[in-house]
Amino acid sequence: MKMSGTKTQSVGTNPSEAPARGLKSLKSMTGYAHAQAVENGFGLRVSVRSVNHRFLDLHMRVPEGFEPIEPRIRQIVRERVRRGHLDIAVRYELAGPAAIGVNQEVAAAYLQAVNELRKQFGIQAEPDLASILRLPGVIGPPGGSLDEEIARLESIVARCLAEALDKLDRMREQEGEALRQELSGRLTSIASLAAKVQTLAEIARPAYARRLESRLKELLGEAQIDPARLAQEAALAAERSDVSEELARLASHVRQFESLLTGASDVGKKLDFLLQEMQREANTLLSKTPGNEAESLEITRLALEIKSEIEKLREQVQNIE
């Protein structure tokens, strides 16, 4: 079989729709692409479909006789893809009478088996030739079995797979850029909410002291309150309700998140870890906001909004490689 006449066609996204220059590609784990080679006598098509997964999970469907090519397919994919569930399908089709060959040894073996069964069970009907031709391995490339063509076909499969993965990458980069913009918007929202919490927390500190003094008066009745002890208790209460550290760490996580979005690839797991840390700070923020004053209630509302934004970020990050 001559390979010189091979033509490769590929389907995917427009290369001009790549991420802005200066930014490393953020890739979604969702996409589809295929490529095909057309040769005198046969056609070969490789398709790749990808969805999100915690690790690289590769599933293949190849024609009978192509099993020796599977290790090469796995090698190519592992060199190109870090995470995701990938379904790879290889289709091989013979075309035209010149492409048809009959493996006489395989056909003879089938006929012998049929005749032995006829004798054993006393069956008079003659074997159906059309049915035998449809049996695996009977029809193949001219000049030999498919096994003899594997070495030549492997290079075409590899080339088609590389083409399909190139197109898949472009599609995943497109979706990754859309994800980058959405994530950046939610980070801006979190930073804005945190700034409002910081302002309200500073306003609320005197309210904590007033609430403490009122509570002590209720407990002590007419007894005189020691100003020094009151100041000490107020300081302790203020420390327990101080959210400055949580806000500082939250701001640091937001900056790290933004840095990963604009300067790295294969960052899905890192982003997911950062979001766990951000969620922890938001939970602590809520636990440190006692009282029912207007400022405290507003801080609680804002902290809940921060948690909601973080959850939405986590949903999107699950689809980033």
Instruction: Identify whether the C-beta of residue 42 lies closer than 8 Å to the C-beta of residue 167.
Output: no
Structure confidence at residue 128 as a pLDDT band (50, 70, 90): confident
The C-alpha atoms of residue 253 and residue 251 are separated, in whole angstroms, by 5
Highest mean pLDDT pick, 94-103, 126-135, 241-250: 241-250
Average of pLDDT values for 122-140?
77
Higher pLDDT, 40 or 2: 40
Closest CA to 35 of 135, 164, 122, 126: 164
Q: What residue segments make up the domains of the chain, in order of their start? A: 7-102+141-171, 104-137, 176-317
Does the domain at residues 7-102+141-171 carry the CATH identifier 3.30.230?
A: yes
Give residue 238's pLDDT: 56
Confidence label for 135 from pLDDT (cuts 50, 70 and 90): confident
Residue 162: closest CA among 31, 36, 266, 17:
36
The two structure tokens encoding residue 271: 């982003």
Please give the structure tokens belonging to residue 82. 């870090």
The pLDDT > 70 percentage for the chain reads 73
pLDDT of residue 211: 65
Res 10 pLDDT > 50: no
How far apart are the two ends of the chain, measured CA to CA in Å? 40
Q: Rounded to an integer, what distance in angstroms lies between the CA atom of residue 75 and that of residue 66?
A: 15
- Written out in words, the top-level CATH class of the domain with range 176-317 is mainly alpha
CA distance 8 to 139: 25
Q: pLDDT tens for residues 202-230?
A: 877 666 666 666 665 565 555 566 666 65
Residue 4 has pLDDT above 50, yes or no: no
For residue 160, is pLDDT > 90?
yes
What does the pLDDT look like over 248-301, one tens digit per residue?
Answer: 999 999 999 999 988 766 789 899 999 999 999 999 988 887 666 777 889 899
Helix (H) / strand (E) element for 88: namely strand 84-94
Domains 7-102+141-171 and 176-317 equal at CATH topology level? no
What DSSP assignment string belongs to 233-270? HHHHHHHHH--HHHHHHHHHHHHHHHHHHHH-SS-HHH
- pLDDT of 17 reads 43
Residue 103 tokens, joined: 């493996």
Structure tokens at 90: 């290889």
Average pLDDT over residues 185-198: 95
Mean pLDDT of the chain: 81
**What is the model's pTM?**
0.67
Residues 6 or more apart whose CB falls under 8 angstroms from that of 222 comprise none
pLDDT digits (tens, 9 = 90+) for 36-79: 998 767 789 999 999 999 899 999 999 877 888 999 999 999 99
Could you say which DSSP state residue 146 is in? G
CA distance 1 to 4: 9
